[in-house]
Amino acid sequence: MSSLGQTGRRYSVDKRSEVVNTPDLQGGSSDEFYSRFLFDTLRTAVLYLDQWGRVRSANDMAKRLFNDPHLSGKTALEVLSYWDKPIHVHQEILSVARTGNSVTELVEKVEIDGQERWFQTDKIAVENPQHGFNGVVFTLDDITELKQHQLSLAKSEANYRAFIQNSRDAIWRIDIIQPIPLPVSGEFSPHKDALVASINKQAMMGDYNDVFHELYCLDSSTGVGGLPLRDISIKEKLLSVEEFVENELQINNKVITFLDNECQPRHLKLSAQGVVEEECLVGIWGVTQDITERREYIEQLEYQNTHDLLTGLPNRTSLQQSVESSIEVLSENEKLIFMIIDLDSFKDVNDTLGHDVGDKIIQEIGPRLQKVLQDTSSVIARLGGDEFAIMLTGVEDIASIDRIARLLLSCIRQYFYVNSSETSNTEVEIRASVGVAIYPDQADDFSTLLRYADVAMYCAKEDMSGVAFYDTERDAHSPKRLSLMSELGKAIRGSDLTLYFQPKISLHDQRIVGVEALSRWVHPTMGFISPAEFVPVAEMTDLINDMTDWVLNESLRQIKEWRDRGLEIAVAVNISARNLQQEGFCDMVRELLTRHDLPASCLELEITESTIMKHMEKTLLVLKELNEMGIDLSIDDFGTGYSSLAYLKRLPVKRLKIDYSFIINMMENEQDQVIVSSTIHMAHNLGLWVVAEGVETEALQHQLAGMGCEQAQGFHIARPMPANELEEWHHNFERLRMVSNS
Ligand code: C2E
Ligand code: MG
Ligand code: MG
Residue 201: which CATH number?
A: 3.30.450.20
Mean pLDDT value of segment 348-363: 88
Residue 456: the pLDDT is 95
Mean pLDDT value of segment 521-531: 88
- Distance from C-alpha of 216 to C-alpha of 685, rounded to nearest angstrom: 89
Same domain, 273 and 213: yes
Whether residue 213 is contained in a domain is answered as yes
Residue ending a domain, choose from 454, 474, 494: 474
pTM value surpassing 0.75? no
Closest CA to 515 of 631, 630, 626, 604: 604
Lowest mean pLDDT among 205-219, 233-247, 416-430: 416-430
- Length of the chain equals 742
Whether residue 491 is contained in a domain is answered as no
Beta-sheet strand order (sheet of 265-277): 203-208, 170-181, 280-290, 265-277, 250-259
pLDDT confidence band for 1 (50 / 70 / 90): very low
What number of CA atoms fall less than 13 Å from residue 702's CA on the CB side?
4
Residue nearest to atom 21 of ligand 1 (CA): 694
Counting ligands in written order, the one closest to the CA of 535 is 1
Q: Which of 504, 518, 519 to mutate to test the pocket of ligand 1 (most atoms within 8 A of CB)?
A: 518
706 C-alpha to ligand 2 centroid (Å): 23
435 C-alpha to ligand 2 centroid (Å): 30
Same domain, 72 and 138: yes
Same domain, 577 and 665: yes
Residue 396: the pLDDT is 86
Domain count, the chain: 4
Instruction: Please give the single-letter amino acid code of residue 623.
Output: L
Same domain, 256 and 383: no
Whether residue 484 is contained in a domain is answered as no
Residue 641: the pLDDT is 65
**Ion ligand 3 residue ranges (Cβ < 5 Å):** 636-637, 693
Number of the ligand 1 atom closest to the C-alpha atom of 519: 38
Mean pLDDT value of segment 355-377: 94
Same domain, 659 and 683: yes
Residue ending a domain, choose from 295, 330, 359: 295
Phi-psi region of 712 (alpha: psi -120 to 50; beta: other; left: phi over 0): beta
* Residue 667 belongs to domain with CATH number: 3.20.20.450
pLDDT confidence band for 288 (50 / 70 / 90): very high
- Distance from C-alpha of 496 to C-alpha of 328, rounded to nearest angstrom: 47
**Ion ligand 2 residue ranges (Cβ < 5 Å):** 574, 606, 636
Same domain, 47 and 113: yes
- Distance from C-alpha of 133 to C-alpha of 103, rounded to nearest angstrom: 14
Q: Is the dihedral angle over the CA atoms 370, 372, 374, 376 positive or is it negative?
A: negative
Counting ligands in written order, the one closest to the CA of 634 is 2
516 C-alpha to ligand 2 centroid (Å): 7
Residue 645: the pLDDT is 61
- The answer to whether the CB of 93 falls within 8 A of the CB of 49 is yes
Q: Is the pLDDT of residue 20 over 50?
A: no
Mean pLDDT value of segment 466-493: 85
Same domain, 699 and 633: yes
Residue nearest to atom 27 of ligand 1 (CA): 531
Whether residue 687 is contained in a domain is answered as yes
- The answer to whether the CB of 392 falls within 8 A of the CB of 340 is no
Q: Residues 523, 525, 528, CA angle at the centre, nearest 5°?
A: 40
Whether residue 634 is contained in a domain is answered as yes
- Distance from C-alpha of 387 to C-alpha of 197, rounded to nearest angstrom: 60
Same domain, 122 and 63: yes
Residue ending a domain, choose from 441, 474, 507: 474
Find the domain containing 463 and state its range. 307-474
| b/e 389-414 (16+ beta carbons within 10 angstroms → b) | bbbbbebeeeeebbebbeebbebbee
Same domain, 128 and 194: no
Lowest mean pLDDT among 574-583, 644-653, 723-732: 644-653
Counting ligands in written order, the one closest to the CA of 504 is 1
Number of H helices, E strands in the chain: 27, 29
- Distance from C-alpha of 308 to C-alpha of 605, rounded to nearest angstrom: 49
Residue 6: the pLDDT is 29
Number of the ligand 1 atom closest to the C-alpha atom of 499: 41
Same domain, 270 and 317: no
Whether residue 345 is contained in a domain is answered as yes
Share of the chain above pLDDT 90, in %: 56
472 C-alpha to ligand 1 centroid (Å): 22
Residue 22: the pLDDT is 44
Residue 542: the pLDDT is 86
Residue nearest to atom 42 of ligand 1 (CA): 574
Same domain, 291 and 319: no
Closest CA to 61 of 33, 39, 77, 35: 39
Number of the ligand 1 atom closest to the C-alpha atom of 502: 14
636 C-alpha to ligand 3 centroid (Å): 5
**DSSP sequence for 125-147:** EEEETTTEEEEEEEEEEE-HHHH
Mean pLDDT value of segment 474-490: 81
> How high is the mean pLDDT of the chain?
88
Whether residue 413 is contained in a domain is answered as yes
Residue 16: the pLDDT is 40
Same domain, 138 and 182: no
- Distance from C-alpha of 701 to C-alpha of 59, rounded to nearest angstrom: 149
Whether residue 620 is contained in a domain is answered as yes
The ligand 1 site (C-beta within 6 Å) comprises 502, 518-519, 530-532, 535, 551, 574, 576, 606, 636-637, 660, 693-696, 713-715, 720
